[in-house]
Amino acid sequence: MTNIEQSNEKRQRSQAVTQTEWEQYMAEKILRLIRHELYMDFRYMDVALSALSYQPKEGIDTLGTEGDHLFYSADHLLRVYPKNPVYLNRCYLHMILHLIFCHPWLQGSRNAADWDLACDIMIEYLIDHMEQTSVQRITGLLRRKVYKRLESVGQALSAAIIYEQIRLWYEFDLAELSKEFYTDTHAFWPRPQPEQAIPVQIPPKWDKLARQTQMQMERQGRNDGDEERLMLKQIRVLQQRRSYRDFLRKFASLRETLQIDPEEFDLSYYTYGLRIYGNLPLIEPMETKETLQVETFVVVIDTSYSTNGELVKKFLQLTADLLLESVELSGKCRIHILQCDDKVRQDDVVTSKEELAQTLQRFTLTEGGSTDFRPAFRYVDQLMQSGQIRHLQGLLYFTDGKGIYPAKRPEYKTAFIFAQDYEEEAVPPWAMRIRIDHEEIMEGK
């Protein structure tokens, strides 16, 4: 190769690099313009809109993220932006809303394709009902049919609810719906592996950003429109989701038990004292050890017709497993398992691991009538007054939430456990509440 040819090759290589750098520079400039335009319409999402660092990624035809980076194709942005900037605005917002609602980390055991579709429908439903000019577009006939079908369900919409619904939609072609609602790529979402015992964890970063967005919306009074009320409700439900394992530990009390704690003294000094002075150890071991222990615990099962029997059994199994794992059940432990609708139908008491296992093995659900939460509380109060329950650490009430709540706050910690969306306003302010998914219960996670 001659010197002239080598010089031309170097110049061409230099020009190619320069062209690539220019395209990336212009693509990121477009992304910043999109972000600014969205910020003007959605100021309550200012931090979330700026939470991703831009990362070029060739071979994709849209935007994508795994929670830390915004992946883009420079060629795609440069081609689409001059023709359809609103589409890219919607795509950017669509992706950020996925992260605010933590969709990439909530798949669980659900079918990946159906979960992706449910999440996309949820986000597009929100955006299609927004009145901001930066994301407005005409809603097509297919989308209007889908939205009408969703609104007929009579439940507050969420990706989980939509997932259950679309699997019953025989009048729709799911492949056609996937094409219609496809916006961003989910190729970078973390997917749960079958062998994983621990589900994919929500990054603290997006848990915090969801709370910040909620506070910003409430502070700015952004709950006038239907889509904003729905968005606020989605974030609140997300914040109510937490690990049932961690939640249950709050009902375990720290107390001292008389047993040697080998971690609280230096064994070398102890044996040195015995060796030098005979029976005089230099440091005595602590004879008390702080352990997590439930003294008395009450689990109430709503046995109304609206509560599924198999789900109840799995909930009890999960609760028992977590108790056995998280706390040291001693001979002083008493766990009351109540079945109640408009009256207390059954009270099974266990005082050991063996009794707990036996009770779960023979457990059958006693179905009844309508739900009234008050009889269970009156029954527990009577047991406390008679001395049959002492040192009650807490009461868990597993229910669908459709019942009459006590007006007066009890003297013990109380939590209502919901396996579906519920009316938050109906739950008394003194009660703890947690919403756990059917999948979390059925899989024992």
The pLDDT assigned to 331 comes to 47
What angle in degrees, to the nearest 10, is found between the helix axes of 174-181 and 112-128?
50
3-state secondary structure of 354: helix
On the question of pLDDT at 294 being above 80, the answer is no
The structure's pTM equals 0.66
Mean pLDDT of 69-80: 95
Structure confidence at residue 242 as a pLDDT band (50, 70, 90): low
Number of C-alpha atoms within 13 angstroms, CB side, residue 232?
18
Residue 54 phi/psi, 5-degree rounding, is -80, 135
Tokens 């615990």 belong to 297
For the segment 3-12, what is each residue's pLDDT rounded down to a tens digit?
Answer: 555 555 555 5
More confident residue, 128 or 244: 128
Residue 168 DSSP code? T
The domain segmentation of the chain, as residue ranges, is 23-241, 246-252+294-442, 258-289
DSSP code for 45: G
Confidence of residue 444 (pLDDT cuts 50, 70, 90): low
Amino acid identity at 88: L
DSSP 229-288: HHHHHHHHHHHH---HHHHHHTTSEEEEEES--GGGS-HHHHHHHHHHHSS--SSPPPSE
Report the C-alpha gap between 297 and 353 in whole angstroms.
14
List the single range of 33-42, 194-203, 228-237, 414-423 with lowest mean pLDDT. 194-203
Architecture of domain 246-252+294-442: 3-Layer(aba) Sandwich (3.40)
Neighbour-count burial for 395-410, b at 16+ CB within 10 Å, e otherwise: bbbbbbbebebbeeee
Residue-wise pLDDT tens digits, 18-65: 788 888 999 999 999 999 999 999 988 999 999 999 999 988 999 999
pLDDT digits (tens, 9 = 90+) for 154-185: 666 888 889 988 988 888 899 999 999 999 99
First to last CA, the chain: 66
The pLDDT confidence band at residue 360, using thresholds 50, 70 and 90, is confident
